[in-house]
Structure 1
Amino acid sequence: MTDISSTADESGTEPIQTPTLWGDEQWTARIIKNEDDDGWAVAMTRHGDPEPALVGPWTMGRDKKNPKPLDTPAFHTLVKTANEVLRRHEQQLHAQLNKHVFVGHGTERIRVALRIVPDEDNPHGLLSAQDESGTTLGEARVAPTFKLTATSAEAWVENGYPSKPR
């Protein structure tokens, strides 16, 4: 019988596979004591990240005292869930930093976009306008607090794409 904790994966690194700690080349699942009650939790941490991407409740074992041991199917489910949490976080961040509106009517629709650059030293926004064929009509640097609305976009377009939008 093969000792599962000593089988190397394709990368040559030794996977960790114990009842309360399970890991591969990208993720580590660790069962921890739930500080809020008498139960257990599992923390999924991506290698290189300072904090877990996912912390959730973990099932009690048969003795109703100790945690249920980790296994391959549970680990794969946790990896899938943690990846989804990270993907949703990235989508939310992208949505917060990138907005656009359309102004104009008929064949003269213009897409006005705002991209926030969250630079620690010099945060700012980049405002741009493009026609329907993708040709850039104007660009301007704005404060990171600039509010892009249909009204502000239309005013910027009507004023000829000034470098300092109001």
Structure 2
Amino acid sequence: MNDTPTPYTDAPEDIKTQEPRLWCDDGWTARVIKNEDDDGWAVEMTKDGEAEPALVGPWTMGRDKKNPKPLDSPAFITLVKTANEVLRRHEQQLHATLHKSVTIDAADGRLTVKLDIVPDEDEPYAVLSAYDASGEQLAEVHVAPTYKLNVQRASEWAAGGFGKQG
């Protein structure tokens, strides 16, 4: 007989709930709620550990036209796929907002100028950098996080020697 205690395995991510209005599985919770905008129902999808739902959408009425249609496995799988896609698009949009790049033709040839915003809560800043065609970094400076990178500004920065004092 083994006297070794069994490790606690009922952590929240291990709990599966499959109720008509609440479904928890695969790192997600689907909850059918009363739609505040009308007489219908909505479903919210919340990723485990997150305070806010990643997705809220309309939910189908049941046959009695008063209560919501119960959650089931196929609906939950579709909701998880949709919520994951929403999160993926949000991450792509955030990345595009924080990381910009332009390519310019300068005296030294084709250059890539990048702007990487660091959204620090206390002191946000951005890093402006230039790279030659082989990927070697030519310059890097800190700029305001509100700096607007475009081809003209990048070209002027390169033409001015990247702000280096010579």
TM-score range normalised by the length of the shorter chain: 0.7 to 0.9
TM-score by length of 1: 0.88
Which residue pairs with 1:4 in the alignment?
Answer: none
Structure 2 match to 1:81: 82
Assess if the C-alpha contact under 8 Å between 2:15 and 2:24 holds in 1: no
CA shift in 2, pair 1:147/1:12, >3 Å = closer
Deviation at 1:38, TM superposition (A): 0.6
CA distance in 2, matches of 1:139, 1:108: 18
- Measured after TM superposition, the shift of residue 147 of structure 1 is 1.0
Identity %, equivalent residues: 62
Compared with structure 1, are the counterparts of its residues 32 and 85 closer, same or farther at alpha carbon in structure 2 (3 Å cutoff)?
same
Give the structure-2-normalised TM-score: 0.88
Aligned to 2:162, the other structure's residue is in SS state coil
What letter corresponds to residue 30 of structure 1 in structure 2?
R
CA distance in 1, matches of 2:39, 2:119: 41
What's the C-alpha RMSD, in Å, of the aligned pairs? 2.2
Residue type at the aligned position of 1:32: I
User: Does residue 39 of structure 2 align to residue 38 of structure 1?
Assistant: yes
CA distance in 2: counterparts of 1:91 and 1:162, whole angstroms = 32
SS in structure 1 at match of 2:33: strand
Q: Show CA shifts across 1:73-94 (max 9, x none).
A: 0000000000000000011111
The reply on whether 1:69 has 2:70 as its aligned counterpart is yes
Gaps of 5+ in 1: 1-7
Counterpart residue identity of residue 147, structure 2:
F
CA offsets 1:103-141 (integer angstroms, 9 cap, x no match): 116981100000111101111110010011100011110
- 1:12 and 1:24 mapped to 2: Cα distance? 8
**Partner AA of 1:85 in structure 2:** V
